[in-house]
């Protein structure tokens, strides 16, 4: 299924970008725009009409949960190398929703307290409640990405975590959460340009830390760790999608479409009144 | 000060709407548009340019807090009778911000666990962190409004709470939080029309509960309880603003202006780089 509000898709983007058996990350071109037969201007138009649909779906989801018609919720997991555009997704895609029903959590380096618990402890606390849309800006996947590349945990522990993640996500899925896992995939060259642009602009310099370059030089190790993540944790109930992200407009449109599909899958309905409408009208008119 | 992006204010709206000694709620006309020399269309234009300013301020506030340049934050407290438009404020005013930096909490009837603690326990947990904008959709003021009207607490306890609220808000203020307290003030007749409209439309019926009419018939008691709230808790560090709200466009514009003033008061600055820019450019170029 393709979002109705997006006119220029030639194919089902969820299907095209989904990580299946045999998926090879290095085979994805970060500048490509799979399934989309339009340019940047078309993409802007489609994003804008998709935003209206997103808002509408979200309100229905929220309404349905208030009346316990659905326990559905959506969890968007965003993973990427620095500067790939996670912030832009939050702002331009998720930002179209009503802040009343959206929870964004940016997971940073774990605190002392968090490190005393299992890695999923801090994650589970931020899973979406019924009717809500939660966004993880970085996530439990850092615990098998940076943790692996930087050897913050031993190989046995990393192994254990893939299974723990699958179990955890299965539990969420069974409780009614649609999990949309996205890796924004930029090229090594594009990252250099974007980090350089941050260094060039006074109001962007706060987004840069010298650690960004330290991570960058480990690029091949990160790509390898991502490949293993895809091999081990792209499940039927929580598949990964690798979204080419050198073109920001495409990445935003693709993620919006994935979210719209998840919402359409829940298909939340306006709840019926659980009171006598005529009686309440009469009471109200008399007041 | 009046938001620069709002062209049609003739006066400082914060000043006009602020609750001072001698304020009388019944003297406020809910259909009025104090200080604004424009119509609904002008209001729409001003709201839209104000939204861009709001987003810009918010990003700077967030950036400044990331670099510990400021511990500033904003807390918007929204109180009102049913259907006065709190939801619209969240959606159309606060919704202009980046969801990454905004936290909206809707306080419902307290749970059993919450009732076992002091009334401020659940409130304090949701106060804004540095650089964040928090919105309370209903708040600790319910504990001196519905609690008083419905006699859920005795007179001595209600008395104690006014002082406890002032102490609590003073602590927040001293920690860098600008507190913007707003009562959206609609007329008794306007509420009837809006509730009737909810009963008339299938996708709005979930917003109505028969309890809304039960509360409505206590209108004079609520107005009296609000008057006491204003008398007791409009302080220099956390003044109340009564916003005429029969015209939604005016209420939204006025609240946006109050928020812009609070942000301007914090005046967050883009942080300076705490690293050697030339050195990092060289490292990046070499990578």
Please write the tens of the pLDDT for every residue from B179-229.
999 999 999 999 999 999 999 998 999 999 999 999 999 999 999 999 999
Q: Which residues of B touch A (CB under 8 A)?
A: 60, 63, 66-67, 87, 90-91, 94-95, 97-100, 102, 104, 106, 135, 137, 192, 195-196, 199, 202-203, 205-210, 213, 216-217, 270-273, 275, 277, 280-281, 283-285, 287
Residues paired with A79 in a beta bridge: A183
Q: Which of B247, B135, B224, B91 lies closest to A51 in space, CA to CA?
A: B91
- Chain A residues in contact with B98 by the CB 8 A cut-off are 87, 90-91, 95
Rounded Cα gap, residues A183 and A174, in angstroms: 23
Paired tokens of A113: 């307290």
For residue A50, the tally of other CB atoms under 10 A from its CB is 22
Mean pLDDT within A22-34: 97
Instruction: Supply the DSSP string of A243-282, one letter for each residue.
Output: EE-SSHHHHHHHHHHHHHHHHHHH---PPPPSS-HHHHHH
Mean pLDDT within B29-56: 95
Q: Give the pLDDT of residue A59.
A: 92
Confidence of residue B239 (pLDDT cuts 50, 70, 90): very high
Q: What is the pLDDT of residues A167-201, one digit of tens each?
A: 999 999 999 999 999 999 999 999 999 999 999 99
Q: Give the pLDDT of residue B4.
A: 65
Residue A221 has pLDDT above 60, yes or no: yes
Domains and CATH numbers, chain A: 13-286 (3.40.50.300)
CB B78 within 8 A of CB B89: yes
Confidence of residue A68 (pLDDT cuts 50, 70, 90): confident
The span from the first CA to the last CA of chain A, in angstroms, equals 49
Residue A265 has pLDDT above 90, yes or no: yes
DSSP B128: P
Contacts 24+ apart (CB under 8 A), A276-283: A277/B199, A277/B205, A280/B199, A280/B208, A280/B210, A280/B213, A281/B196, A281/B199, A283/B210, A283/B213
Residues 6+ apart with CB under 8 A from B246: B30, B31, B186, B187, B190
Mean pLDDT within A194-210: 94
- Chain A residues in contact with B273 by the CB 8 A cut-off are 205-206, 208
Confidence of residue A239 (pLDDT cuts 50, 70, 90): very high
In chain A, what percentage of residues exceed pLDDT 90? 91
Judged on CB neighbours under 10 Å (0-12, 13-18, 19+), A52 is exposed
- Chain A residues in contact with B76 by the CB 8 A cut-off are none
Q: Give the pLDDT of residue B53.
A: 95
Q: Give the pLDDT of residue A3.
A: 63
Q: What is the pLDDT of residues A86-138, one digit of tens each?
A: 999 999 999 999 999 999 999 999 999 999 999 999 999 999 999 999 999 99
ipTM over 0.85? The verdict is yes
In a mutational test of the B interface, the residue from A69, A99, A200 whose CB has the highest number of chain B CBs within 10 Å is: A99
Least confident of A1-15, A46-60, A143-157, A248-262: A1-15
Q: Which of B131, B153, B136 lies closest to B144 in space, CA to CA?
A: B153
Q: Give the pLDDT of residue A4.
A: 65
Residues 6+ apart with CB under 8 A from B105: B126, B134, B135, B136, B137
Determine the distance in angstroms separating the CA of B237 from the nearest CA of chain A, rounded to an integer. Answer: 27
């Amino acid at each position: 299924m393709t979002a109705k509000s997006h006119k220029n898709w030639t194919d089902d983007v969820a299907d095209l970008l989904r990580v299946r058996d045999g998926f090879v990350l290095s085979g994805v071109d970060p500048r490509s725009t799979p399934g989309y037969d339009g340019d940047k201007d078309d993409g802007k138009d489609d994003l804008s009409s998709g935003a209206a649909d997103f808002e509408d779906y979200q309100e229905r989801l929220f309404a349905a949960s208030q009346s316990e018609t659905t326990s559905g919720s959506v969890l968007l997991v965003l993973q990427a190398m620095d500067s790939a555009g996670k912030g832009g997704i939050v702002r331009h895609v998720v930002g179209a929703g009503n802040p009343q029903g959206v929870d964004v959590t940016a997971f940073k380096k774990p605190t002392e307290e968090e490190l005393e618990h299992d890695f999923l402890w801090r994650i589970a606390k931020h899973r979406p409640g019924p009717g809500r849309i939660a966004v993880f800006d970085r996530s439990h996947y850092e615990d098998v990405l940076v943790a692996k590349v930087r050897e913050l945990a031993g190989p046995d522990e990393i192994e254990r975590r893939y299974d723990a993640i699958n179990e955890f996500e299965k539990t969420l899925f069974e409780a009614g959460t649609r999990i949309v896992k996205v890796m924004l995939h930029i090229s090594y060259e594009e990252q250099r340009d974007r980090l350089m642009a941050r260094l060039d602009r006074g109001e962007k310099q706060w987004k840069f830390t010298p650690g960004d370059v330290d991570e960058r030089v480990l690029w091949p190790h990160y790509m390898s760790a991502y490949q293993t993540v895809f091999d081990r944790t792209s499940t039927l109930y929580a598949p990964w999608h690798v979204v080419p992200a050198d073109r920001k407009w495409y990445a935003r449109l693709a993620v919006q479409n994935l979210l719209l599909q998840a919402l359409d899958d829940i298909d939340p309905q306006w709840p019926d009144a659980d009171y006598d409408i005529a009686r309440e009208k009469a009471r109200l008119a008399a007041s």
